Chains A and B, each alone.
Chain A
Amino acid sequence: AQSVTQLGSHVSVSEGALVLLRCNYSSSVPPYLFWYVQYPNQGLQLLLKYTTGATLVKGINGFEAEFKKSETSFHLTKPSAHMSDAAEYFCAVSDLGAGNMLTFGGGTRLMVKP
């Protein structure tokens, strides 16, 4: 069985500061990893994904994430936070051996202070 842990249900940063949202996963097979963003009253939007190849993945809106197999981590970063980044962020893992199961973490709400 696969699982995803997002450390910190709420993260607060100042505008212009580094954003770091943590995600650790467990999976019995090489995983596909995703970050999604959810703005208020909206569905989830794919930010970026890792499938194979380069372990540093760039996504939309200046976000990137690095797959570290030895640490079973897929942390999301952005060098400089913007007010419009305030949202809830979900890390997810897909296990090819489990049908179409996409397992989500509990989410991290990012707040950006002026």
Chain B
Amino acid sequence: EAQVTQNPRYLITVTGKKLTVTCSQNMNHEYMSWYRQDPGLGLRQIYYSMNVEVTDKGDVPEGYKVSRKEKRNFPLILESPSPNQTSLYFCASSLDRGNYGYTFGSGTRLTVV
């Protein structure tokens, strides 16, 4: 089944403790992206990647890092999480520049206390 898999689905952590949210897609998509969803703000792009070793900032990159060492994986790293990073996170992938529409993962609900 074609899908984007994120882990974990739920995560509660403490301020300053580094964490990684994994994202993997099995569709051989070149484009991958991370979004955060906050009430009333819709989804805002954090980082995106157009191919292996090619990443760029989205609208809200501060406090996040990404890497794209393999085509299928695009982990999101929070080096020192803070409470304002409490949010619902989505990974998405697309065959090209998103113009065919993204396939989204099921989301990761992160709480930073």
Contacts and interface: CB of A to CB of B under 8 A. Distances in A.
Whether A associates with B in a native complex is yes
**A contact residues, range:** 20 to 34
Interface hub of B44, B97, B101 (most chain A Cβ within 10 A): B101
A103 B4 CA distance: 20
B43 A45 contact: no
Interface string B55-72: 010110000000000000
Interface hub of B4, B45, B56, B92 (most chain A Cβ within 10 A): B45
Nearest to A45: B104
Interface in B29-52: 31, 33, 35, 40-45, 48, 50
Contacts, number: 70
Interface stretch (A14-22, A68-76, A94-102): A94-102
Nearest to A46: B101
Interface string A84-106: 00000010101010011111111
Interface of A: 4, 6, 9, 32, 34, 36, 41-46, 49, 51, 90, 92, 94, 96, 99-107
